[in-house]
């Protein structure tokens, strides 16, 4: 556990220089969502603050993913494609490779906000299949760029982890939205009873 934490702190210090690019890209993506909101393509058009908050978090999350996976990487000499499914999981748990385990965790965690805030911003993504498809497209595109440009390795396991993270995020959204709906219905029922009396 201590080794995992030490590796995590090492990654944080390594990615510290990425803060400015993340914010620049995040602002750009937020502006795009804001334009979509003006065209009434987003949810909460009657509540701009709520849309702006959700779009900011979503945009920063996508910016973090893009910058961490594509920005500032040195180009290799060969195309790298790892098509074996669960290969990194076997290596992480079978060989107790802490660094690969941390990469698996990060692949999952990075996409949790995507699955959580996509349905908060866009009504279409309230359906799980669209979140799943969106995560597949985003993750698959990043992996293809990494593999083709030789700045990283195309791995099916990375896509699997990313999609799992998005699904966890959507699960959190689904639970929270159900809970808020029950609270609203309860309040509405209480106010109706008071009006009748």
Summarize pLDDT for 89-115 with one digit per residue, the tens.
999 888 888 889 999 999 999 999 999
How far, in Å, CA of 60 to CA of 58, rounded?
Answer: 6
Count CB-CB contacts under 10 A for residue 73. 13
Q: What mean pLDDT is predicted for residues 160-179?
A: 96
How far, in Å, CA of 41 to CA of 49, rounded?
Answer: 15
Query: What pLDDT shows up at residue 173?
Result: 96
Q: How confident is the model at residue 11 (pLDDT cuts 50, 70, 90)?
A: low
How far, in Å, CA of 168 to CA of 114, rounded?
Answer: 10
Query: What pLDDT shows up at residue 75?
Result: 83
Residue 165 has pLDDT above 90, yes or no: yes
For 173, counting Cβ atoms within 10 Å of its Cβ (0-12 exposed, 13-18 middle, 19+ buried), the class is: buried
Task: Check residues 50 and 119 and name the one with the higher pLDDT.
Answer: 119
| Tokens describing residue 119 | 């349905």
Residue 196 has pLDDT above 70, yes or no: no
Residue 193 has pLDDT above 80, yes or no: no
How far, in Å, CA of 75 to CA of 151, rounded?
Answer: 4
How far, in Å, CA of 39 to CA of 45, rounded?
Answer: 9
Summarize pLDDT for 12-70 with one digit per residue, the tens.
666 677 788 888 999 999 888 778 777 766 665 556 677 778 889 999 999 999 998 99
Residue 155 in 3-state DSSP?
strand
Residue 197 has pLDDT above 60, yes or no: no
Task: Check residues 77 and 174 and name the one with the higher pLDDT.
Answer: 174
Mean residue pLDDT across the chain? 85
């Amino acid at each position: 556990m201590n080794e995992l934490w030490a590796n995590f702190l090492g990654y944080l210090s390594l990615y510290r220089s990425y803060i400015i690019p993340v914010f620049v890209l995040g602002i750009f993506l937020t502006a795009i969502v804001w334009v979509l909101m003006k065209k009434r393509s987003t949810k909460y058009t009657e509540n701009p603050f709520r849309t702006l908050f959700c779009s900011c978090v979503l945009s920063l999350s996508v910016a973090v993913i893009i910058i961490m996976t594509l920005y500032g990487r040195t180009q290799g000499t060969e195309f790298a494609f790892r098509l074996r499914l669960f290969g990194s999981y076997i290596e992480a748990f079978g060989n107790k490779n802490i660094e690969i385990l941390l990469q698996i965790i990060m692949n999952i965690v990075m996409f949790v906000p995507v699955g959580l805030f996509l349905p908060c911003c866009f009504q279409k993504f309230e359906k799980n299949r669209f979140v799943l498809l969106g995560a597949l497209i985003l993750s698959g595109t990043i992996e293809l760029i990494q593999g083709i440009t030789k700045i990283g390795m195309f791995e099916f396991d990375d896509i699997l982890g990313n999609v799992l993270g998005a699904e966890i995020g959507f699960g959190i959204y689904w639970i929270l939205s159900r809970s808020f709906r029950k609270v609203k219905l309860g309040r509405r029922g209480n106010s109706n009873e008071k009006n009748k009396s």
